[in-house]
């Protein structure tokens, strides 16, 4: 069963609305409004194909209302019903509101129904024409030139150029693969740890694809109940939801001809997995409270954890759904595998935070980047952003140094790569003699304290309960020196 087309009837006279509704309700879903404000609200909340509007009403005229509609919903077919036939009004209606047809009062029911049906067919033909134009885009040079200009603007602002990385970054291979996937209109599954930037890559794929001039929507499924997911994805018919007297559009309908990114699909229940499978394979769905089957033409991009294939083996994720969504798959590397990217990522995030919070800075010092690069970032990009925000808040100088970094990050040895340097927990639970393990812990505490206190040895000795001579002896024994200083150089406070 297919859904009826929706028509909006606007007239300040209740009896006129009732007559039109009685004539059209067997063939259309009829919405009614007695003023422009209510009509605009209904347009915002519903997918309207045709408007039948009275010309002379209190407040805004029908022509003024339809002119506003033309700007926001140009595809909606606009028809004026009037008892007057002044030439100037008709010219204004055609030029300003793009009116499809005039219907004079009194109208005959058969004539009204025929006009509404023709308008609905025109709307559908326009939609079909747009779809065919998308498929034939490469054959029309002029259209392609304009489209490519628009796509270039979107790519530069939201595409892969927005993904910051170093020249030798592991992300380069991921981006190269994603660029190839973007040009093929197939579902893509993006796997990886939480916080690795899956949503940014999904957005870049959309804005580098043939659908870049259409809408992009994203939804994080984690923590959402089945009821909430059904409303957000499928939508709901009028009266289904308490307190919502109108139809509610779901993302399957909103994203039609565009792209929908669903993150956290591993949390979907068995029922929602079957609902998503139907949309992915057949392009069909049913809104809550409705019996009609709707169709959608969306490109599905999904975000999942690295162990999604293991979940299939355990029976917690639908195998058929996995193959429907993962026609091709991208794996996002964690931040600990992108040490080369910490510098450009950190500087960019810091500048964005500085603008957002109105605190100008000149960036991170080289030594600060060295310390940040030596940490494994289990929380990935969100953890890095939180650390930089905390540094920005506490900073006194324009260049942020390592003394602002959190203690657990400072305790890492900047002279060692993350794969070699051990964390305190690893040392406590690892192997080795008591003396060797205590020395490693002691080195980490000394390094963190001196860095935090900007290598003021008197303050460091006082905080650690050591004499200046005792502190110097430990530094010499551990081979710890202030970065950038000569081996024999000593700081005088």
Residue 308, domain CATH: 3.40.50.300
Asked if 199 and 248 sit in the same domain, the reply is yes
Q: What is residue 31's DSSP assignment? A: E
| Mean pLDDT of the chain, nearest integer | 83
Could you give the percent of the chain with pLDDT greater than 90? Answer: 46
Q: What is residue 302's DSSP assignment? A: E
For residue 489, give the CATH number of its domain: 1.10.10
Q: Is residue 143 domain-resident?
A: no
For residue 93, give the CATH number of its domain: 3.40.50.2300
* pLDDT tens digit sequence for 302-328: 999 988 988 998 889 999 999 999 999
* pLDDT tens digit sequence for 86-145: 666 667 667 777 888 888 888 899 999 999 999 999 988 888 877 777 666 555 555 556
Tokens 């559009």 -> residue: 249
> What does residue 77 show for φ and ψ, rounded to 5 degrees?
-80, 130
Containing H/E element for 150? helix 141-158
d(CA 365, CA 348): 13
Last residue of a domain, one of 302, 317, 333: 333
Q: What is the dihedral of CA 427, 431, 433, 437, to 10 degrees?
A: -10
Asked if 232 and 323 sit in the same domain, the reply is yes
Q: Is residue 232 domain-resident?
A: yes
Statement: residue 371 has pLDDT above 90: no
d(CA 328, CA 308): 14
Q: What is the dihedral of CA 369, 372, 373, 376, to 10 degrees?
A: -170
Asked if 307 and 276 sit in the same domain, the reply is yes
- Cβ atoms of 2 and 292 within 8 Å: the answer is yes
Q: Is residue 202 domain-resident?
A: yes
- Cβ atoms of 175 and 163 within 8 Å: the answer is yes
Residue 331 pLDDT:
95
Residue 373 pLDDT:
86
Last residue of a domain, one of 313, 333, 353: 333
d(CA 467, CA 280): 70
Mean pLDDT on 329-338: 93
- Cβ atoms of 292 and 249 within 8 Å: the answer is no
Whole-model pTM over 0.85: no
Residue 113 pLDDT:
92
Residue 246 pLDDT:
73
Asked if 63 and 18 sit in the same domain, the reply is yes
Return all residues near 337 (Cβ < 8 A) that are at least 6 apart: 170
- Counted domains in the chain: 4
- Token pair listed for 406: 């959190």
Could you give the percent of the chain with pLDDT greater than 70? Answer: 80
- Taking CA atoms, 291 is separated from 233, 265, 272, 288, 294, in Å, by 16, 26, 18, 8, 10
Asked if 20 and 71 sit in the same domain, the reply is yes
User: E strands, 335-482, where?
Assistant: 363-364, 399-400
Query: Of 229, 473, 189, which is closest to residue 317 (Cα–Cα)?
Result: 189
Range of weakest confidence among 19-28, 59-68, 258-267, 483-492: 483-492
Orientation of helix 468-478 relative to helix 434-452, angle to 10°: 120
Peptide bond into 42 cis (omega under 30): no
* pLDDT tens digit sequence for 2-51: 688 999 999 988 999 999 999 999 999 999 999 889 999 999 999 999 99
Return all residues near 123 (Cβ < 8 A) that are at least 6 apart: 5, 49, 50, 75, 76, 77
β-partners of residue 190 are 303, 330
Statement: residue 414 has pLDDT above 70: no
Q: Is residue 145 domain-resident?
A: no
Full domain range(s) for residue 468? 422-493
For residue 394, give the CATH number of its domain: 1.10.8.60
Residue 482: band (very low, low, confident or very high) from pLDDT cuts 50, 70, 90? low
Residue 145 pLDDT:
61
Asked if 265 and 355 sit in the same domain, the reply is no
- Cβ atoms of 231 and 248 within 8 Å: the answer is yes
Asked if 375 and 465 sit in the same domain, the reply is no
Statement: residue 417 has pLDDT above 60: no
Residue 284: CB atoms within 10 A of its CB come to 12
Q: Is residue 149 domain-resident?
A: no
Asked if 380 and 275 sit in the same domain, the reply is no
- Cβ atoms of 265 and 322 within 8 Å: the answer is no
Statement: residue 150 has pLDDT above 90: no
Asked if 492 and 405 sit in the same domain, the reply is no
Asked if 198 and 314 sit in the same domain, the reply is yes
Residue 262 pLDDT:
97
Mean pLDDT on 264-291: 93
Q: Is residue 439 domain-resident?
A: yes
Statement: residue 425 has pLDDT above 70: no
Q: Is residue 148 domain-resident?
A: no
Asked if 289 and 348 sit in the same domain, the reply is no
Asked if 398 and 467 sit in the same domain, the reply is no
Statement: residue 441 has pLDDT above 80: no
Residue 89 pLDDT:
64
Residue 289 pLDDT:
85
- Taking CA atoms, 118 is separated from 40, 74, 440, in Å, by 23, 17, 82
> What does residue 237 show for φ and ψ, rounded to 5 degrees?
-80, 160
Residue 167: band (very low, low, confident or very high) from pLDDT cuts 50, 70, 90? confident
Orientation of helix 457-464 relative to helix 434-452, angle to 10°: 130
Q: Is residue 39 domain-resident?
A: yes
- Token pair listed for 179: 């660029």
Statement: residue 190 has pLDDT above 70: yes
Mean pLDDT on 393-417: 79
Last residue of a domain, one of 419, 447, 477: 419
* pLDDT tens digit sequence for 215-245: 999 999 999 999 999 999 999 888 777 766 6
Q: How far apart are the first and last CA of the chain?
A: 84
């Amino acid at each position: 069963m297919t859904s009826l087309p929706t028509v909006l009837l606007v007239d300040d006279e209740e009896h006129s609305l009732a007559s039109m509704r009685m004539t059209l309700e067997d063939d259309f879903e009829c919405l009614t409004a007695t003023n422009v404000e209510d009509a605009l609200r209904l347009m915002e909340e519903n997918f309207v194909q045709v408007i039948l509007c009275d010309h002379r009403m209190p407040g805004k005229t029908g022509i003024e209302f339809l002119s506003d509609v033309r700007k926001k919903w140009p595809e909606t077919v606009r028809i004026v019903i009037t008892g007057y036939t002044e030439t100037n009004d008709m010219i204004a209606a055609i030029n300003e509101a793009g009116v499809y047809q005039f219907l004079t009062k009194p109208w005959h029911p058969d004539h009204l129904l025929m006009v509404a049906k023709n308008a609905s067919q025109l709307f559908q033909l326009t939609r079909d024409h747009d779809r065919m134009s998308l498929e034939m885009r490469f054959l029309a040079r002029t259209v392609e030139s304009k489209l490519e200009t628009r796509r270039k603007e979107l790519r530069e602002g939201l595409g892969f150029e927005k993904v910051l990385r170093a020249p030798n970054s592991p992300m380069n291979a991921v981006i190269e693969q994603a660029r190839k996937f973007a040009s093929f209109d197939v579902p893509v599954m993006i796997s990886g740890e939480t916080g690795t930037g899956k949503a940014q890559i999904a957005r870049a794929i959309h804005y580098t694809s043939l659908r870049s001039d259409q809408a992009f929507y994203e939804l994080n499924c984690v923590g959402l109940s089945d009821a909430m997911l059904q409303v957000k994805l499928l939508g709901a018919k009028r009266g289904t939801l308490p307190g919502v007297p109108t139809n509610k559009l779901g993302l399957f309908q909103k994203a039609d001809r565009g792209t929908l990114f669903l993150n956290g699909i591993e949390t979907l229940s068995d029922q929602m997995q079957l609902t998503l499978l139907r949309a992915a394979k057949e392009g069909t769905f049913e809104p809550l409270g409705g019996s009609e089957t709707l169709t959608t033409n969306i490109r599905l991009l999904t975000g999942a954890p690295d162990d999604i294939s293991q979940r299939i083996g355990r029976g917690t994720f639908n195998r058929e759904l996995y193959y429907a969504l993962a026609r091709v798959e991208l794996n996002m590397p964690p931040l600990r595998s992108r040490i080369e990217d910490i510098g450009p990522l950190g500087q960019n995030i810091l500048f964005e935070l500085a603008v957002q919070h109105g605190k100008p800075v000149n960036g991170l010092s080289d030594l600060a980047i060295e310390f940040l690069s030596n940490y494994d970032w289990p929380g990935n990009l969100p953890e890095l952003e939180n650390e930089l925000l905390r540094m920005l808040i506490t900073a006194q100088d324009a260049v942020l140094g390592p003394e602002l970094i959190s203690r657990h990050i400072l305790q890492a040895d900047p002279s060692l790569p993350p794969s070699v340097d051990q964390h305190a927990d690893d040392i406590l639970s690892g192997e080795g003699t008591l003396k060797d393990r205590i020395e490693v812990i002691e080195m980490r505490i000394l390094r963190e304290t001196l860095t935090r206190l900007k290598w003021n040895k008197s303050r460091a000795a006082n905080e650690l309960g050591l004499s200046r001579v005792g502190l110097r002896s430990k530094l010499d024994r551990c081979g710890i020196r202030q970065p950038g200083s000569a081996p024999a150089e000593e700081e005088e406070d």
